[in-house]
Structure 1
């Protein structure tokens, strides 16, 4: 049985589910899923898990993500990106200094209202379905975080943004809100995810059938589960404890046996705590667990 984390470079025009479907066919494995949806017009890094590594997807989806985005100033659209209908246009743009000042105001942003064309549910219905009927359902603001952001103003009206954000952040909404703050309107014309936590798109393979990549090459490039969670706190188990965990029995672990992971990564806003990775004596990832004063609760076990 193959249990891997695959790093894939999603092509433009593909949905994230298209990538998963392609990998299921190539790998001959039904248990395939992804962490962190990308819109069809976006490209870049998509984390795709195979086999029992799919149990890691929730912890991986919480990782901060880095993007290279391009916003066009002077045009606002109903979807906040290039797929939408223009709502208003202007040829009058603010100064470079004003643009850089407003971009800097986005750093550390903590709340954001999801766009009308999004999969967020309000009263049981996804916003984009109501929007396509011409109805407006407005979601409440949600906690997010813009950790880092830098702007290149050399090619206006196109503004390039290099930014790192928390899970659940809509980059097209950042572009839209920036345009509103500047008084000229803006929409997103391109988006590329370059990193997800420690993983980079430079390490990724394409899922395009035309490249002829086979399952063996994808797996040779993939990450083992034990190497896929450097951001998680961890505990090394004794052999007897490992046998018990394999049979669903949680070990007795005090906080003194839990050490930080080699990579420090912030939890997204609202996150309670990272799960703890439990490792067998041979270094294999054995389970994810929640450790509290009440004891150890096994969340996922990799027998």
Structure 2
């Protein structure tokens, strides 16, 4: 079978990849794009990790990347941040020079004597819940079509209005002055560099990160992530078996459609949720549902527009062509 470059041969899949520090997120996507077997369709990642950071980077193929906004809206992210108190850098991390030092006695006598438990209590009191945060000037946030870090490196100061984020959990893992290790669970779009700086400011000093690890995105964790040695190398199919189903990454309620309902969904028609069989229930959302046919093959994502109506939001059936066994030969 001859395929065009963007034709999908496999179901929507997500690779849980461990991105090392000192390479970009796009470097990882580029590697997968070059070494995946033919038929991976369109490819993209779910949320940039800064070059200095490491950890979970999810890569979607065969239409999975169309769920990018849903990943951001529904799945919190957990980070382990290690920083140093008493210093400030323009980028908020070790990749730039120190521009200010706190040489106060309050830092060396008071803050240095704080207990881990005291710091954790104070930070939870202040930061758990709603958190208004302006994007860091050295970030990938867009302004007039360009990344903010591009403006900053040209010496142009760009200020964006604070955006509401959520901080769900804070754990002070270790405190050995002047080093502070914090694990946070936050909503998507939260800049942990900025959050760490804000935390240090609240404690009464400066602070900058020396390492950052994204430990999880929703149910996807670094413990099962593909290390670099496991990344695809020769366009063979075994790597496909390491992909996660998009419906397992985003655990919406699964609905099973009969033959007639499947045809209606494929053609963009409306269905009644009450008429559909629930395969697996979920509390993640009351408005979005995975739609599966009688053989439990994923058809797409349904959206409830009214209490008694459900329509296709994303339809995968037109993107995926199921090949014969001979079509699976390595290219």
Scaled by the length of structure 1, what TM-score is found?
Answer: 0.87
The offset of 1:125, in angstroms, is 4.5
Number of equivalenced pairs: 295
Please point out which of 85, 88, 109 is paired with 1:76.
88
Please point out which of 293, 307, 311 is paired with 1:297.
311
Question: Within 5 A, what are the aligned runs for 1:189-200?
Answer: 189-200=210-221
The offset of 1:124, in angstroms, is 4.7
Match for residue 114 of structure 2?
96
SS of the residue 1:250 aligns to: coil
Match for residue 55 of structure 1?
66
Q: Which runs of 5+ in 2 are unaligned?
A: 1-8, 318-331
- Cα distance change of structure 1 residues 292 and 115 upon mapping to structure 2, 3 Å threshold: same
- Cα distance change of structure 1 residues 258 and 238 upon mapping to structure 2, 3 Å threshold: closer
- Cα distance change of structure 1 residues 219 and 254 upon mapping to structure 2, 3 Å threshold: closer
| 2:33 counterpart of 1:21 | no
Task: Show CA shifts across 1:173-203 (max 9, x none).
Answer: 0111112222220011111111111111111
Q: Residues 32 and 232 of structure 2 are in contact (CA less than 8 Å); yes or no, is this contact kept in structure 1?
A: no
Please point out which of 46, 65, 77 is paired with 1:65.
77
Q: Residues 59 and 275 of structure 1 are in contact (CA less than 8 Å); yes or no, is this contact kept in structure 2?
A: no
Match for residue 270 of structure 1?
none
In structure 2, how many angstroms separate the alpha carbons of the residues matched to 1:243 and 1:65?
37
In structure 2, how many angstroms separate the alpha carbons of the residues matched to 1:37 and 1:59?
15
In structure 1, how many angstroms separate the alpha carbons of the residues matched to 2:212 and 2:155?
26
Detail structure 1 runs of 4+ shifted over 4 Å in the superposition: 208-215, 255-265
In structure 2, how many angstroms separate the alpha carbons of the residues matched to 1:15 and 1:263?
34
Question: Within 5 A, what are the aligned runs for 1:1-303?
Answer: 1-3=9-11, 4-28=13-37, 29=40, 31-62=42-73, 63-91=75-103, 92-93=107-108, 94=111, 95-97=113-115, 99-104=119-124, 105-207=126-228, 215-230=236-251, 232-246=252-266, 248-254=267-273, 257=276, 262=281, 264-265=283-284, 275-293=288-306, 295-303=309-317
SS of the residue 2:17 aligns to: strand
Q: Residues 6 and 47 of structure 1 are in contact (CA less than 8 Å); yes or no, is this contact kept in structure 2?
A: yes
- Cα distance change of structure 1 residues 14 and 263 upon mapping to structure 2, 3 Å threshold: farther
Q: Which runs of 5+ in 1 are unaligned?
A: 268-272
SS of the residue 2:99 aligns to: strand
- Cα distance change of structure 1 residues 255 and 146 upon mapping to structure 2, 3 Å threshold: farther
| Bigger Rg, which one | 2
Q: Residues 102 and 178 of structure 1 are in contact (CA less than 8 Å); yes or no, is this contact kept in structure 2?
A: no
Q: Residues 128 and 168 of structure 2 are in contact (CA less than 8 Å); yes or no, is this contact kept in structure 1?
A: yes
- Cα distance change of structure 1 residues 214 and 71 upon mapping to structure 2, 3 Å threshold: farther
- Cα distance change of structure 1 residues 290 and 229 upon mapping to structure 2, 3 Å threshold: same
SS of the residue 1:154 aligns to: strand
The offset of 1:41, in angstroms, is 0.8
Task: Show CA shifts across 1:74-121 (max 9, x none).
Answer: 111111111123221135341424633432222224311111111223
In structure 2, how many angstroms separate the alpha carbons of the residues matched to 1:213 and 1:46?
21
